[in-house]
Amino acid sequence: MSGSAFWAAHPGAAGRLGPPAVGLKPFESFELPGEGDVKALTVQAVPAVHGPADGQRDASGHVNCEVTGFVLSGPGLPTVYLSGDKASIAAVKAVAERVGTVDVAVLFAGAARVATKERGRPLTLTAQRAAAAAEVLGARLVIPAHVDGWAHFSEGVDEFGGAFDESGILDVLAVVPHGEWIVPSWL
């Protein structure tokens, strides 16, 4: 697909979107070759569980709905983890075991809650679980995502910062206004 646009998604979404969407199951990868000054990139799907680990699973084994995360990597590039909607630390541990440490973790948090689903328990990471995920991944930089803008988020950036401070890893947290770039000093 060199020179072509594509979208990585979980298999169900790729089927609904059609080409150029590429459906990837957990730990499947798609290689984007480099061209000119653009470096090659590997897009790897990783597990995500959109709700508590013991949540009600559908016929396909998903809690709430089919979701996925991704790890982006390539020669000379930082390894970036995009958690996707998840509340499960077990899924994060599975990523760390297969992928190793990551440079940047974009964690979907906000402790999203819907009263009618999973007894109101979080469908995405709480701030405390996000801090635990960052430690499991050995992330050098953590960017919170999914922490504002929707009524079902029960935690925001303040709780995120507090949990990272309590865990002693506030120095890896990067919070900036929407639309601003984050460039780590180590890049």
What is the sign, positive or negative, of the torsion defined by CA atoms of 87, 88, 91, 96?
positive
Range of the domain at 159: 34-172
Task: Confirm whether 55 is domain-assigned.
Answer: yes
Q: CA-CA distance, 132 to 114, in Å (whole number)?
A: 23
Task: Confirm whether 145 is domain-assigned.
Answer: yes
CATH of the domain at 111: 3.60.15.10
SS3 160: helix
Report the predicted TM-score, pTM, of the whole model to 2 decimal places. 0.89
The confidence score (pLDDT) of residue 4 equals: 58
Beta strands in the chain (DSSP E): 7-9, 21-23, 29-32, 41-46, 69-73, 80-82, 104-108, 141-145
Task: Confirm whether 184 is domain-assigned.
Answer: no
The confidence score (pLDDT) of residue 88 equals: 86
Task: Confirm whether 9 is domain-assigned.
Answer: no
What is the sign, positive or negative, of the torsion defined by CA atoms of 155, 158, 162, 168?
positive
SS3 142: strand
Task: Confirm whether 164 is domain-assigned.
Answer: yes
Domain count, the chain: 1
The confidence score (pLDDT) of residue 2 equals: 44
Q: Quote the tokens at residue 45.
A: 């799907």
The confidence score (pLDDT) of residue 95 equals: 95
Task: Confirm whether 86 is domain-assigned.
Answer: yes
Gyration radius of the chain's alpha carbons: 17
Task: Collect all residues with Cβ–Cβ distance below 8 Å to 107 and sequence separation of at least 6.
Answer: 83, 125, 130, 133, 134, 142, 143, 144, 145
Task: Confirm whether 148 is domain-assigned.
Answer: yes
Q: CA-CA distance, 72 to 32, in Å (whole number)?
A: 11
Tens place of pLDDT per residue across the chain (187 aa)? 444 567 788 888 888 888 888 889 999 999 988 888 888 899 999 988 888 888 888 887 777 778 889 999 999 999 999 998 888 899 999 999 999 999 999 999 998 898 888 898 888 899 999 999 999 999 999 999 988 888 888 898 899 999 999 999 999 999 988 899 998 888 8
Task: Confirm whether 2 is domain-assigned.
Answer: no
